[in-house]
Every structure is written in structure tokens, then in C-alpha cells.
């Protein structure tokens, strides 16, 4: 049975705390996994979220190849860990049409 005297030492964090409007692309130009990851990596780099776009892109691309990053509802959540990243942040991008994400399913 959990103790009723447990106190939380971390503050509540919302998704809004981890992104900002400059990190949202409502209409991605890229039409494939590599292109989308490149576009998003460059965006994160331009806004100071990752120190170098290429290592982040490579980490995200490799992770997308090795792990399932798509949901059954057609959304992809590519992600990566990279040295030099000091805080959790994310960018959001959307395509006008479904994309064959890594050959697995359409997102």
C-alpha cells in the first residue's frame, strides 16, 4: 500500500513547456522519413534546441529504423537522445497527405 506521506519533488510539466510556436511546422515540405527527420532536425538546430543537426538527425533516423515510432492512428513520434541537449524539447510537423513512414505504415 502506498504511503500517504509521499511528496512530489518535481513540478508539473505540460507539453507547452517543452515546445514553442517556432517549433511547429503545419505543412512539412518533405515527403519521406529521411526528409521529414532532416527538416525537423534543422528546425531544432536553428532554434538552439540541438547543438548540431547532423548527429541528432542520425540518432533519430537510426532510432526510427530500429524501433516502432508510429501509432495505429497514423501518427509518428520520432525521437532521439543527443549529447549537448540540455532540456526536453520537441518540434511538431504535419504533412498534407499520408507518408510511408520507414516502410511500415502510413502516417
* DSSP per-residue string spanning 4-69: TT----S----GGGG--GGGEESS-S--SHHHHHHHHHHHHHHTTSSS-HHHHHHHHHHHHHHS--
Does 85 score more than 50 pLDDT?
yes
Q: How far apart are CA 78 and CA 11, in angstroms?
A: 26
CB 30 within 8 A of CB 39: yes
1-23 pLDDT per residue, tens: 444 444 444 678 888 999 999 99
pTM for the complete prediction?
0.80
40-67 pLDDT per residue, tens: 999 999 999 999 999 999 999 998 888 8
Does 30 score more than 90 pLDDT?
yes
Q: How high is the mean pLDDT of the chain? A: 84
Amino acid at each position: 500500500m502506498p504511503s500517504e506521506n509521499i511528496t512530489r519533488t518535481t513540478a508539473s510539466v505540460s507539453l507547452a513547456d517543452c515546445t514553442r510556436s517556432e517549433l511547429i511546422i503545419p505543412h512539412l515540405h518533405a515527403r519521406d522519413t529521411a526528409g521529414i527527420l532532416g527538416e525537423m532536425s534543422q528546425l531544432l538546430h536553428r532554434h538552439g534546441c540541438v547543438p548540431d543537426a547532423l548527429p541528432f538527425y542520425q540518432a533519430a533516423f537510426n532510432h526510427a529504423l530500429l524501433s516502432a515510432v508510429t501509432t495505429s492512428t497514423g501518427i509518428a513520434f520520432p525521437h532521439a537522445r543527443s549529447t549537448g541537449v540540455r532540456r526536453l524539447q520537441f518540434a511538431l510537423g504535419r504533412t498534407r497527405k499520408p507518408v510511408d513512414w520507414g516502410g511500415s505504415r502510413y502516417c
